[in-house]
């Protein structure tokens, strides 16, 4: 609105570019990724810390690969 755009024009741009690019590039790549960090449902604000369980889930595949490779 500060730049003279309407809500409808912003939503249209999002739907036609950002969302489309996500489904074209990012979404398919997650099926080939070694690690996917899924939305935990908590806003990513500085004062909100992830739970220990969420951290363990994120690190488990990394630690497993490092152990298999003999790094740790």
Average confidence (pLDDT) over 60-70 = 93
The model's pLDDT over 41-52, given as tens digits with 9 standing for 90+, comes to: 666 566 667 788
Answer yes or no: is pLDDT of 37 > 80: no
Q: How far, in Å, CA of 4 to CA of 41, rounded?
A: 33
Average confidence (pLDDT) over 38-43 = 64
Q: How far, in Å, CA of 38 to CA of 57, rounded?
A: 10
Q: How far, in Å, CA of 70 to CA of 29, rounded?
A: 27
Q: The pTM is what?
A: 0.45
For tokens 């739970």, the residue is: 51
């Amino acid at each position: 609105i500060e730049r003279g755009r309407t809500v409808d024009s912003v939503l249209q741009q999002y739907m036609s570019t950002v969302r489309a690019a996500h489904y074209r590039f990012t979404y398919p790549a997650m099926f080939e990724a070694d690690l996917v960090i899924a939305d935990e449902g908590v806003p990513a604000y500085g004062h909100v810390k992830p739970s220990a369980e969420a951290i363990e889930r994120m690190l488990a595949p990394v630690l497993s690969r490092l152990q298999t490779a003999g790094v740790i």
